[in-house]
A and B are shown apart, each in its own frame.
Chain A
Amino acid sequence: MDNIVLTIDNKKISCPAGTSILQAAIQNDIKIPHLCYHPDLKPFGACRLCLVEDEQSGRLMASCVTPVAADMTLLTDTARILSHRRNIVRLMIAEHPESCIVCSKGNRCHLRWAAAQMGIGETDLYSMPNYKPLEQANPFIIRDLSKCILCGKCIRADHELVVVGAIDYNLRGFESRPATVHEQGLERSNCTFCGTCVSMCPTGALSAKSSQYVGSPATESFSICGFCGVGCSLAMGQSTGKVIDVNPAHLANSVNKATLCVRGHFAHDFLNSPRRLIAPMMPKEKEDETTEMAPVSWDEALDQVANRLRQIKEESGPQSVAFLGSSKCSNEENYLIQKIARVLIGTNNVDNGGYVSGQFLSTILDQKTGGGCRPAPFGDLATADIIVVLGADPNHSLPVVSYYLKRAAKNGVPLVVIDPRKTDLVSFASLWLPIKPQSDLELINALAALLHETNDYDSEFIDRYAEGFSLFTYALSSLDTEKVCRMTGLQMQQMKTMAALLKEKRIAFVIGHGILQQRYGVHTLGAILNLSLMSGSLGKPGAGIYILARENNQNGAMDMGTIPDLLPGRMPIAEDSNRKTWEKNWGIKISPDPGLNMGRVIEAAESGQIKALYIMGENPLRSLPQPQRVKAALENLEFVVVQDILDSEIVNLADVVLPGAATSEKGGSFTNLEGRIQSFAPVVTPPGKAKPDWEILDLLAARLGTSAAYGSLEKIRDEIRRLVPAYADLNGSATAWVKPSSPMAVFGASDAHEMISFSPVVSTADEPADRDYPITAILGSLRYHLGSGTRTSVSQRIQDFDHVGNAAISKTDAEELKLKDGDTVKIKTRWGEIKRKVDCSNRIAAGQLFVPLAVNANDAMNLIDLTDLSEPSSTGWKTCAVKITKA
């Protein structure tokens, strides 16, 4: 685009055509006051504070909505402009209530700042405050619209950034205010409480609600959100050593920019919970011979851990010890814990909570593509040809991902949603295929067959980058289309419509837990990869496979080798060359036998094969199926160490409790679902005697006989950088990326030459429905909780929210069972039974039931069984056959 040269305040500047005057000024460090402008929002021109004067014509114009023109000469602070600006602010203040002294916005109020800048104390105008009732029925946001200046930032953020549409202007003139439909409270609207509007509001009209008075933050510093796999950049405000306020960090290159979700914005009050662990503890016998957890010194606790682990290793061998690293802890911490397991104990029994989310399934893609599916920046989705969302409800599970998808769809990118439920995303979709649970594999195969039939595939791409196409198409030709229709519950026409949409397009697949936790997940991912190859969708931005990660560092924990069969850098342990590399790196012998994953560790604890378990930042009692069975297995262990931040059920089973630190209390780095490695520094110090987890591990390693302790985060990073090529850029900055290193030709490296092979076409058995358990329950998340809800359920705000996690049942089934909204039902499976209230919903099909996870101590886990997700015998953890009876 052509550059335009203009003069602002006698400074000659040049900028691309189409830039607004305000943007051009900001880029050149010329300060123009403004209230309604925000770089991420479309210009609006509401506040008129950004007036500038054209020197030639004398015209005044709002610089945010006026594009630059050649040879403009502009002035930004003439007496005339200042007088206008003063009048605008005077009018705003005249309508504003005189409550600045008690307003929680305090010195962060932009209106107050503007008034102060212009020296406006008394307005000398007739004061006309526009009193509106204070709205604070919900525990998250206080709306005091008396203080609203109608800048429209909240409305624009709601429409343009998070694409929810909960509010818009209502009424006109003096009466005009942002409002929900029917002027109901936010809690009764479709507001998702992402709080983006709160962070943007220039005045005290919108503020975060706190359960107690917390004052204004003394300092604000950067951190990364420790909840979901998106890894949003946060600006955390602290006062007296406590995090009291969270806002998006507004970094230009961050994944979330100006947005957040309800968890990131409001659930961080869990950090100040009285249930935080603040001192190391060990069970002590009391006078009446019962035992009770009592605080001990760090030395006593760590000595005990080291001695017992060493003793058990000597008595029963290294394979009798297992470690659980954490999908919530940092890369550095996961690297350390797996190194302790492999080097100091000598076992591959090390896994992390990503197992629960089916994270390990992505090894299938890693193997096939040589890790070529990472990095996968979500920003590229804006330019996608077509987006296909499979088994994911990101509006709840990963809200910031849903913003990306909805924005793309609103800008005209076709969006296809394949989901049994009518999720919120469906209203943005070009096509929704209400598929029966667990049948995605059949659909994907059928789509490949349809595209092959009409010759709508990229043969040039296939010739260059893939192998095994003829065998693949031969297998496709034998697909039984009738069976596909029967199993998916879809009509042939629906599949044809979708195939037509995919024609000649590079596809971006967004894959959620509906695939990763289902029974045939491995094969489904293979089929998705086949379709990506056929359509030539790999190796291009805005196309390919985007895997959603439930927890903040699921990917990083895997990269660091906190997984039984992978060494750091996701190197399969089964390969001799990988083991040799790491044997050299660490100077030890590594067993070629893959260790036990999280599920198998529990089985081995039951059988007595495992005798000691070190758990860091995981809560298997809450996150794994069959909690009673898991509890019995853990009780069967000789020695359990729990290193965690919150007091929970599992602490009572521990022989030693070590208090760790939450994200905001330590330094480290997380790798998000895109492959972004984000480092962070502590915002506050850990509570009480708690220590950063890497420090605890480092101290333990010293006691277990390592030659030299690291002593600092930088030294750990140094080793990771040196030994894990994908992490060569881990440099302590907020944005580094996983380095791509795929040997596949399609991913572009100059010496890369390998072809990706098509996966075999697998068709699953058409099993009859279980008569005793006729309904299929789908287990899924709600946005108010993350994962199993260990942290979010401790948040006072989340507790105060009247959100009960009702199960959703179709109206047809409700009628048959004579159920109405709010009735309690018993939900029974072969494995267990829970009670839930139900909502009758038209978003779910007959024969299906949606059961939210994380609520009621994640009791939904009683419904499924603890078979190994990676085994063909697994029934999957996403769905289960249930019987419903009225309680």
Chain B
Amino acid sequence: MKPPEIDWDQIYGIIEKYKGEKWGLIPLLQEVQEHAGYIPPESIDPIAEALNLYPAEVQGVITFYSGFALEPKGKYVLRVCRGTACHVKGSRSVLRLMQKELELKEGETSPDYQFTLETVACLGACFLAPTMMINRDYFGKLSPTKVSSLLGEYQKK
């Protein structure tokens, strides 16, 4: 399956908004990623041109931050916390369970572009350990049943 089509008009609209504003590179990239789910590599050249930067510079910024992606991601990005507190509370099992259920390894995206599985070092919500994020929502005190039902829920969405 192909990743969802990109609405280039909207991307060009975002780029146009920041034209000539070098400082705006990161907010621009965030907006593009917000819109398309990732930063399409084809957008590097027009972004660089609009901000009067070199394309290689723009690429350097994108690849420096793990928050930016140059490959399409699933509709839902699952970020399992692998911080110390979550680890103690069994986040390794949570991750294994998700890998099994989704048939995905860390960093992979499902062929139907529904899910991307990632891990992060800490989500800063240790009191809810073990935790994960699905897009912008937090889910804490995870258990195998809770994980299964969440995955089931998002599978249908």
Contacts and interface: CB of A to CB of B under 8 A. Distances in A.
A179 B64 contact: no
A179 B62 CA distance: 13
A209 interface: no
A170 interface: yes
Label chain A's interface by main secondary structure: mixed
A180 B63 contact: no
B56 interface: yes
B54 interface: yes
Contact of A168 (B45, B49, B60): B60
Contacts of A167: 56
A166 interface: yes
Contacts of A181: 44-45, 54-56, 58-59
Contacts of B56: 165-168, 170, 179-181, 189
Nearest to B65: A172
Contacts of A38: none
A169 interface: yes
B59 A168 contact: yes
A443 B58 CA distance: 38
B57 A171 contact: no
A530 to B, nearest CB: 34
A763 to B, nearest CB: 38
Interface string B17-48: 00000000000000000000000010011000
B64 A172 contact: yes
Contacts of A286: none
Contacts of A59: none
A179 B59 contact: yes
Contacts of A172: 63-64
Contacts of A180: 56
A738 B124 CA distance: 70
Interface in A145-197: 159, 165-172, 179-182, 189
A696 B53 CA distance: 53
B57 A182 contact: no
Contacts of B41: 182
Given A181-B44, A182-B41, A159 B60 contact: no
Nearest to B54: A165
A165 B63 contact: no
A217 to B, nearest CB: 32
Contacts of A169: 60, 64
Contacts of B60: 168-170, 179
Contacts of A179: 56, 59-60
Contact of B59 (A159, A170, A427): A170
B60 to A, nearest CB: 4
A449 B101 CA distance: 77
A166 B54 CA distance: 7
Contacts of B59: 168, 170, 179, 181-182
Interface in A179-232: 179-182, 189
B55 A165 contact: yes
B49 to A, nearest CB: 8
Contacts of A427: 49
Contacts of A170: 56, 59-60, 63
Contacts of B44: 181-182
A876 B15 CA distance: 44
Contacts of B57: 165, 168
B76 to A, nearest CB: 26
A388 to B, nearest CB: 21
A110 to B, nearest CB: 24
A159 B63 contact: no
A427 B55 CA distance: 13
A167 B53 CA distance: 12
Contacts of B49: 427
A828 to B, nearest CB: 36
Contacts of A168: 54, 56-57, 59-60
A159 B64 contact: no
A703 B31 CA distance: 81
Contacts of B63: 170-172
Nearest to B52: A427
Contacts of B55: 165, 181
Nearest to A181: B55
Interface string A7-32: 00000000000000000000000000
Interface string A121-165: 000000000000000000000000000000000000001000001
A172 to B, nearest CB: 5
B25 to A, nearest CB: 13
A168 B62 CA distance: 12
Most buried by B among A166, A182, A189: A182
A189 B41 CA distance: 15
B58 to A, nearest CB: 8
A432 to B, nearest CB: 14
A159 B56 CA distance: 11
Contacts of B45: 181
Contacts of B53: 165
Contacts of A182: 41, 44, 59
A610 B49 CA distance: 57
Nearest to B57: A168
A189 B44 CA distance: 14
The 5 lowest CB-CB distance pairs between A and B, nearest first, are A165-B54, A168-B56, A181-B55, A168-B60, A181-B56
Interface of B: 41, 44-45, 49, 53-60, 63-64
Interface of A: 159, 165-172, 179-182, 189, 427
5 contacts: A165-B57, A169-B60, A171-B63, A172-B63, A179-B59
